[in-house]
Structure 1
Amino acid sequence: MGSRKILMLIGSILIGALAGFLLLNYVQNVEGEIRQDAQRVPVWVIAQEIPAGTTASDVVRTGRLEQREIESNFRPDNAVTDLSQIQGRVAVANLATNQVLVQGLFADPEVVETTFADLVQSDQIAISITVPKNRAVGGFVEPGDFVDIITLGEPFQSELGDEDAFDAAARQTPYSRPARFLYRGVRIIGVNGRLVGDGIPGAEDEVVVAQDSEEGGMNITLAIPADAAQRLLSVPESNLVLALLPDAWEPVAQANIVYEDFLSDAPLPGELPSLVTPYGRTGFVDLFAEAAEAEAEQSLDQNLEDELFDSLADQAANTDDPSDEG
């Protein structure tokens, strides 16, 4: 009885060993087939760290690149296969060792060496002004935006005309100082050191509000002609207000209506039947909603037209061919 148990144990061990051998052999065969299918291809690899701005010719001359082979399924689609692809270019950033050389790591010197001056057109100069956030659309201004620059004048004085007439007007109007448009459509190229084209990590899906700088306001950099800069810098920064313009804005002059209303003791807009609201007698019109509705209607019309066309095409296809009759 004991010898039978021993034989059964030995048999079990042998069967387990055989199964393990067969499994190992199968795995090795599969790996071998995968290796045969995975063709090895050459790639260029960074052998030594490459500082930003290094020219491709210096990189090649100093042996900072070397060619290696990797399996084809691991080679990036944008891998540089010929060093002529980076000829005349420079490294866009510090490049670490052992990374595969891909397109985009080297670029034209003009692109890499762009300076702040490149954002300023030849007929303009760049100047900076400091405006509190509450006078710069609450901080919702970005590099690349266009704004109106409104100046707040000194409080109205009786020197504007007859003192009695001034006093009477002052008692009837809420206007205490003029607000005039110095310039419209002024291009912003920088906000608090952030320039046009700068990305904000993590801000792709949210609105970024610029904050006041340590000096007590937002540093707004503008690109404008020299004569416009003279006029703007002649106005105290404490009197400036920025108003954000929509993308579809077109240049339209704005008259100094407050001064005229003050002198003539004109009714307030809300007292005029022709105005009532800031948007006119009919009130606010949501142009974005109207555009979306028009687009939806156009899409619906197109779908109906497509369905009608498909229906007619199906009817034509299902019509019996006269040649088949009889």
Structure 2
Amino acid sequence: MNRRLGLTALAVVLALIGTFAVFAYAKSADRRAVDGIQAESVLIVEKTIPLGTSWNEVVEGGFVSEEKLPARATPSSALRSLKADVPDSEVATAEVKPGQVIVRAMFGKRAPATGALAIPARKQAITIAVPSNAEVSGFVRNGSEVAIYATFKVKQAQNAAGKAIAGDDAFASKLLLPRVSVIAVNQAPPSNVSGTGDDESDGLAGSRNVDDKVLVTLAVDQADAERIVLAQEIGKLYLTLLTDSSVSKDSGGRINLGNFRPTPLFVK
């Protein structure tokens, strides 16, 4: 009899313990669920924010609105209000579509627009216009390295004896820059050594018009840009296509009459 009562009491105790454990687990689950749906304020995009739009324009233009989202669905870097600590001058680094949560990384310092051009660090982009025969018949392309030569008329002068050493037909050519990187060309390069594309059935390099101008964009520093601009104004430019082993160095230049010495105009 006593044994039966003891077993009954034990069963009751175990039932109570089980009930308490289930209750504690359910309460913990409820707490986790409540934490998960706890609302936090965030900024939601109402209309597309174009690339380059400043934070001040976003705030003043009604591009975003404050809404509540569950805490567990909110990015840690989300902006919480229109008074967020974002400098007014910072701009959208990419286009932002409606419905997106605004996060801090979407805004940064304004960068100069360069379009599709990939300009190397500390360099400037400059474009020259040359005839097709002056840019290796179209074989210069994006990623090529070229040497730039200038040809120009030599100013008439006199020697110590008073005799003319340069006349109307005196021209000089000189290496302007020994190696420059090409970052864009406005025409597709030929696909074979005849200088033609695959769709040209005649296979003749002469099918290119020498008078057609080709735009070649180069990456240079300020000093080299100054040389190129000046050389274009007083003469003509020609390009030679280089390989890794090509040798390109200043030789003093060539002239078709008398003796020629490099002018300070092109000296580095």
Q: What TM-score does the superposition give when structure 2 sets the normalisation length?
A: 0.45
Higher relative contact order (CA 8 A, sep 6+): 2
> More helix per residue: 1 or 2?
1
TM-score by length of 1: 0.38
- Would you tell me which structure has more strand in proportion to its own residues? 2
